[in-house]
């Protein structure tokens, strides 16, 4: 299993499809119990996107504009809906 990989396919609405390889052992390590690989990768994508918009709002130079703040608010609402907890609760990082 050490060299096995899982092919992850990403498709968003009517956009093109993208694929990449992920070590199967990494997905096993990150999974909670018997979570399918797709769930693990989707969770990691949501966490990464939330971290990026959080950084753009709270850790960038200057004050973010209203549009960026609205994107962060919506992202954090979707994050909480997916995980049942806030970004601050899951990461221990609060402002």
Residues 19-72 have pLDDT tens digits of 999 999 999 999 988 899 999 999 999 999 999 999 999 888 888 899 999 999
- Please compute the mean of the pLDDT values over residues 77-87 and round it to a whole number: 97
Whether 54 contacts 87, CB under 8 Å: yes
Q: Measure the CA dihedral 87/91/92/93, to 10°.
A: -70
Q: Within the chain, what is the greatest distance between any pair of CA atoms?
A: 47
Whether 8 contacts 20, CB under 8 Å: yes
């Amino acid at each position: 299993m050490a060299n096995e990989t899982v092919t992850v396919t990403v498709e968003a609405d009517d956009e093109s499809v993208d694929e990449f390889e992920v070590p199967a052992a990494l997905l096993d390590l990150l999974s909670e119990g018997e979570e399918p690989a797709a769930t693990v990768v989707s969770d990691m994508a949501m966490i990464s996107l939330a971290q990026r918009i959080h950084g753009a709002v709270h850790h960038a130079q200057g004050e973010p504009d209203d549009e960026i703040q609205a994107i962060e608010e919506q992202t954090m609402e979707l994050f909480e809906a997916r995980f049942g907890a806030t970004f601050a609760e899951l990461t221990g990082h609060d402002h």
